[in-house]
Structure 1
Amino acid sequence: MKHFLLLFCCSLLFTACKDAPANDPNKLNIVTTTTMITDLVHNIGGDAVEVQGLMGSGVDPHLYKASEGDVSKLTRADVVFYSGLHLEGKLVDVFEKMGRTTNTIALAEVLDKKKLIGSEYFASSFDPHIWFNIEYWKQITVNLTQHLSELDPKNAELYKKNKDIYLKKLEGLEIEVRETIASLPKEKRILVTAHDAFNYFGEEYGFKVVGLQGLSTATEAGVQDVQNLAELIIEKKVKAIFIETSVPKRTIEALQQAVKSEGFDVQIGGTLYSDALGNAGTDEGTYIGMFSYNVNTIVNALK
């Protein structure tokens, strides 16, 4: 009987090892959290690294919990890159415990805290949606490149070359964004969304940003929140409001109905990417494509 149990356990172990993806020993094995960080690592690391992203399109990082499979990926990684500023709130404890054995790096920690937007919703005391400021994303890019070069010196030149190429693309994105937004009159720059993911965007490009659920999707919008925002939309004659791919659309639909019940017609201007990129293989599945899509969607709906 003991012999049978031993064979059975060995069989299970063999199956588990067979199912687990083998890491290339010649490449840096990286695990990332959000789709934005995953896309950035792909751009800088290129073929020199192996990247496994925990979160996919439409996934809300505020509420994401690590599965058993995620923990397995994390423990096998050479390094884990995550956004930080308590964006991945429910993963923080996992990272803190892993920090003793696995290299975990919060990329946003490089940013000057004095310039960040404060927030009482997060343990970090800052709004973590820093990717909506392109200049901050450039700093994140440089920070990532430095870490990759230190972890994998033999490919440091490749990482630097990829960084320079990507920074030029970000500069082109910045020019495009400003030109598009310039076509929208300043009095129409009122952005109403499901939650306050766009404050850095608003600060940089002159938008008044109002999120129905506040900064974190862990909070719930109440009836009074909906009514107050409905009054603002009517007062300012806002033409369109927006849903988000990573947040249920019911709150924005309720807001639309509340506005219509007061005799004002507000349209849902489209779906924005806030806490996650679009599907892999599409333009919106990249940081640059996502940013460009969001800006065009917002400007076209509010004109």
Structure 2
Amino acid sequence: MLTEHYDVKTASGRTVGVWRSYDESTRGSGRVVVMAPGFGQRMRSGGALALMMVRNGATVYRFDSLDHVGVSEGEIANFCLTSLNESLSAAVDSACRTEGADSVTVVATSLAALAALHHAVDEQRTSGIVLMLGVVDGRNTLLNVIGDDYLDVPVDTLPPTVMIDKYEVDPRAIHREHPVVDWWDAHSTVTALAALDIPVWNFAAIDDDWVQISDVHKVFAEAGRDPAEHVVEVEFSGHALLRNPVALKSLMTEVTRRVIGAGPEAEPEIPSFEEMVALRGTERDLERQHLSQRDR
């Protein structure tokens, strides 16, 4: 897998780091995929899945979101969905322009599901969406993770920071965007899903402390999408998928199968364990190189 790194500017002029990965032998012949990272994830967090999709013919774009961890502009203390959506839009625009494509397949993890669905509705440059542990009710997820629902309280009652996973986040950014876009509420996800006429799958963990699988089934059903067809239940996972290599490998295989349009009988090519381990070191170096070249 060959990976190029570069920066793009968003509509507001902010800088987003992008990686483009491809196989020289299949360059330009397969699906164009944009991966949207989950909360606390960097581009290199999705390296193994990118490698598997590239090995099976895809050209894969990754990006670090604004106001997040990674090489893009801003800090995770100011995380919000609108920054994630702005970053996704810039990455999709770059992918379409570079590949000469009208649309891409989006693979979105966790909270990025909310941005990916609304981006697909608003910009209509998405041909399919695969969600990995995709959040469908942001309000419930925040309640599960933070322990309180701060979306509708007076702004002067907000705490200085809240802990999301292991990161301190200023809740004001999320609080400010909620009345404007309402993407944190389940009814907004239902509306987005119902408006789309493209394939959407959600790989949902049975035991997930961020996402209740009953919420996933309910939202898809209310949007007119049969959960039996569009929701794939993942066992032995939980939300910290990267910590469960057995579940992760199985999930990556099924996600790749849907991305490349293969049938259930098809067996995607799976990179070796040694390749995946080596990739981790390579992409740590690539991240450092991306930052150092920008600073010159």
Q: Per residue, is there more strand in 1 or in 2?
A: 2
Name the larger-Rg structure: 1
Q: Per residue, is there more helix in 1 or in 2?
A: 1
Report the TM-score when normalising by structure 2: 0.37
